[in-house]
Amino acid sequence: MTPVRFAHLIESDGPGGAERMLASLAAALQSGGNDTVVVVPARGEGWLARELSGAGVRVEAFQLDRPFSPRFARWLADVFRRHRVSLAHSHEFTMAVYGAWAARKAGIPHLITMHGSRYYAARLQRRIAMRLAAQSSSTTVAVSRSLSEHLARDLWLRSSRIVTIPNGVRPPVLDGSSTLRAELGLPATAQLAVAVGNLYPVKGHSVLLDALGLLAVRFPQLHVAIAGRGELEGMLRRRAMELHVSDRFHLLGLRSDIANVLAGADVFVLPSLSEGVPLALLEAMLTRKPVIASAVGEVPIVLDGGRAGALVPPSDPSALAATVQELLADAARARALGAAAHARASVTYTFDVMMTSYRALYERALRNHPHDARPERVGEPQRQALPERRPPGERAVVR
């Protein structure tokens, strides 16, 4: 049985949800005996290359200087040939379009995963390009049902053309006890609400900060800590000073020790204004933390309609403050919600569950792709054909 050679493509290179998911998929495929190359932007942060360092995954950097570039499509097809890629998997709009184009040139199957961005929807030309990419790919994956519905409607596709595979994470592992409270200098009597997410408006951290302001007098020992970085750091610090809670509002920056951060919390808060299936929410659920989250996107489904976590309206500091107050005052309910969250995430939202679904799609794409197809080389003689031919009766297996 022949291992598979994969390429994963993405247009961004920071520690966001799509990038983290790509890194997990690529590392898992590599450790399973497959060969994997990841294509990332040359002017990125280098986060993916660092994350995959030591995993055996090869990294190719690209430069795309204009929105429409046949030259980039040719370069990408050459990358597939050079690495003898058997299947390409693109993430988000730009690489979905170019990945489908290059995979067609190289004569290999192609998959798309859309992680939540609807950047393509703003202009007709992008919607047409995305539709063509989806039609020429073996599968288009959405990470949530709501995104799947949007894709079908935006791209004029039958809903059966879109497959929903929710994100999945591995349980955060912590050796020993959390050091977060000691790091923040919190007294033993302090109560701590934690959020994880980059400091962008869509993450709703200002709503959480305003909720802290509303609770400041009644809960003088309540602190809020946010793990993440971003453009709103200065604004949030100024707002904390205006609310007279700057000594109880902690911006932790980008953290690699999420297990440590979550373990130190009394409650996990997701105040987002828009979401798909956020990885931080799943990680908090797997650590048995009671969750309070905005009822946006796929979050109510993840939290089983409120049975696995408390749901609040988005952009409503008063509702968020009331729910934080309720859980801090009712330890039994908080524990019950944490247990329910763990049970639900353990069945539906683990990395193994997600990976099983992707393996099935990979194997179907490889099985159904016409292996006698030749790569398209416009204006050039045909040369190396892909995927690599296998002896009769032998099939590629995704491990």
Q: What is the CATH number of the domain that holds 220?
A: 3.40.50.2000
In the chain, the number of structural domains is: 2
Both 300 and 355 in one domain: the answer is no
If you search the block for the tokens 């050459």, which residue do you land on? 78
How far, in Å, CA of 187 to CA of 302, rounded?
A: 34
Q: Which residues pair with 6 in a beta bridge?
A: 36, 87
Both 286 and 190 in one domain: the answer is yes
Residue 122 has a pLDDT of: 87
Other beta carbons less than 10 A from residue 284's beta carbon: 32
**230, part of any domain:** yes
Both 155 and 189 in one domain: the answer is no
Both 150 and 193 in one domain: the answer is no
**Residue 243 three-state SS:** coil
Per DSSP, the chain holds a count of helices (H) and strands (E) of: 15, 13
Both 194 and 152 in one domain: the answer is no
Backbone φ/ψ region at 115: left (φ over 0), alpha (ψ -120 to 50), beta: alpha
Both 87 and 17 in one domain: the answer is yes
Both 249 and 144 in one domain: the answer is no
Both 271 and 208 in one domain: the answer is yes
**286, part of any domain:** yes
Residue 55 has a pLDDT of: 94
**389, part of any domain:** no
Separation in Å, CA 197 to CA 128, 166, 227, 352, 375: 32, 18, 6, 23, 42
At 230-265, the pLDDT tens digits run 999 999 999 999 999 999 999 999 999 999 999 999
**298, part of any domain:** yes
Counting as low any pLDDT under 50, the low residues of the chain are: 1, 372-393
Both 101 and 119 in one domain: the answer is yes
**387, part of any domain:** no
**236, part of any domain:** yes
Helix (H) or strand (E) holding 334: helix 331-348
Helix (H) or strand (E) holding 239: helix 233-242
Residue 395 has a pLDDT of: 56
How far, in Å, CA of 71 to CA of 82, rounded?
A: 16
At 207-217, the pLDDT tens digits run 999 999 999 99
Both 186 and 161 in one domain: the answer is no
Both 149 and 16 in one domain: the answer is yes
Domain holding 222, by residue range, is 180-348
**395, part of any domain:** no
Both 277 and 361 in one domain: the answer is no
**373, part of any domain:** no
